[in-house]
Structures are given as C-alpha cells and as structure tokens.
C-alpha cells in the first residue's frame, strides 16, 4: 500500500539532497517521478530543485491555488511516485490532495521540508502533514555547538537573529542558520542585553 511520507528537519539537514537522491533511486529502477516544488520558493530562475551540494533536477512549480490531485490525474497519471520539495509552503488543502493521490490512486507521495518557521511555529503545510502522513521521519541537523538543531533562526543583515516578522521570507544560508533551542535562546538574551531588537 502506498503512503504519504513527511521527511522534515531544520535548515541544512540535506532535505533537498535526499529528495533528489530518492528521485534518482526510483528512476534507476525504471520508475517515473513527478517532482514538485511550491512556486513561492522563487530562488531559482527556472523550474528546478537544487540542493546546496550541487544536485539538481527539473520540477513542476506549484502555485498555491493549484489542485495537486487534478494535476496528477490530468497530466501526470503515468508517474509512479510524487516527490515534493519545500513542502512546508503547500497549503493544507494541497496536502489533503496529496493524501488523496495516495489513498485513491495508490501512488506514494514523499514530502521533504521544514516543520517550523523562524519563530518555532509550524508552517500550515507541515502541520497538516503531521496530522495525516502515514510515515514521519526527522532528518537530523547540527547546531554550531554540536547539539541537534531544531530552530531555523532568521538573520538580519548584521547577523542578528530576528524574532518577529512575516512567516515566509525566502532565503538560503545568508538569511537562516539552523540552531539548537539553547543557542537560539541564549542569543536572544544576549541581543536584548545589548539593546538589539529582533
């Protein structure tokens, strides 16, 4: 039986690389893959999923009003598996549509993404995946101190941690750093003592 998978972790834990390796593994066995990425992630000029270690593959960009079940059924029904990168940016309705692909069409769907934003609150798409995915796996990441990183700290132009603002701000290593909660809280206290508002 096919399953809906959610593979999550903090920034820098190789989520995208693992998504692309998974795609390669399916294709090596002669299977066709539908690779999706939410259109809000506009860091690339062309529709591509690209990891920091240099792996990349073309993908279908998904606007937030796109019905993913209809997309699969009407245009990609020959695909044996669906893989989604940056799944935290999906709407809860789109996550339900992926679940519908699994349940009604018996097609596995593997979602890779962050669980929480820079304020440590769940993204709506990730929240829905935690609620309905049949398989949930954490991909570990490490803080500078060596502890497990669980926080996606947002940085300003001076390297200070930001604690307020809009939930989504697309950026890579220059805007975010994976940290453990202890380091994240310590940095917050240090910034407050120096009069830096985050």
Copy the structure tokens of residue 179: 């940290």
Instruction: List the domain range (segments joined by +) for residue 179.
Output: 151-193
DSSP for 32-82, please give it: -EEEEEETT---SSSSEEE-TTS-EEE-EEE-TT--HHHHHHHH-TT-SEE
pTM score, whole prediction = 0.90
Which CATH number belongs to the domain containing residue 134 in this structure? Answer: 3.40.50.300
- Name the DSSP letter for residue 88: G
Rounded Cα–Cα distance for residues 90 and 69 (Å): 13
Query: What residues have CB less than 8 Å from 1, skipping those under 6 apart?
Result: 106
Tell whether 164 and 133 lie within a shared domain: no
Whether 86 sits among the annotated catalytic residues: the reply is yes
Domain count for the chain: 2
Tell whether 22 and 113 lie within a shared domain: yes
Q: Are 21 and 7 in contact (CB under 8 A)?
A: no
Report the chain (198 residues): mean pLDDT per 10 consecutive residues. 96 92 97 96 78 90 97 97 97 98 98 94 96 97 94 86 75 77 90 72
132 in any annotated domain: yes
Which one of 64, 86, 164, 177 is the catalytic residue?
86
């Amino acid at each position: 039986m096919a399953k809906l998978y959610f593979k999550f972790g903090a920034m820098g834990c190789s989520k995208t690389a693992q998504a692309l390796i998974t795609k390669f593994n399916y294709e090596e066995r002669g299977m066709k893959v539908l690779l999706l990425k939410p259109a809000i992630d506009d860091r690339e000029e062309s529709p591509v999923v690209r990891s920091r270690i240099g792996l990349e593959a073309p993908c279908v960009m998904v606007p937030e009003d796109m019905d993913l079940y209809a997309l699969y059924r009407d245009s990609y029904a020959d695909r044996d598996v669906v893989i989604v990168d940056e799944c935290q940016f999906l709407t809860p309705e789109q996550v339900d549509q992926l679940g519908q692909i699994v349940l009604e069409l018996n097609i596995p769907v593997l979602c890779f993404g962050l669980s929480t934003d820079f304020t440590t609150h769940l993204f709506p798409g990730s929240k829905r995946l935690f609620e309905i995915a049949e398989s949930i796996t954490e991909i570990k990441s490490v803080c500078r101190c060596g502890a497990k990183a669980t926080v996606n700290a947002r940085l300003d132009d001076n390297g200070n941690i930001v604690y307020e603002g809009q939930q989504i701000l697309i950026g890579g290593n220059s805007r975010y750093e994976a940290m453990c909660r202890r380091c994240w809280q310590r940095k917050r206290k240090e910034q407050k003592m120096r009069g830096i508002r985050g």
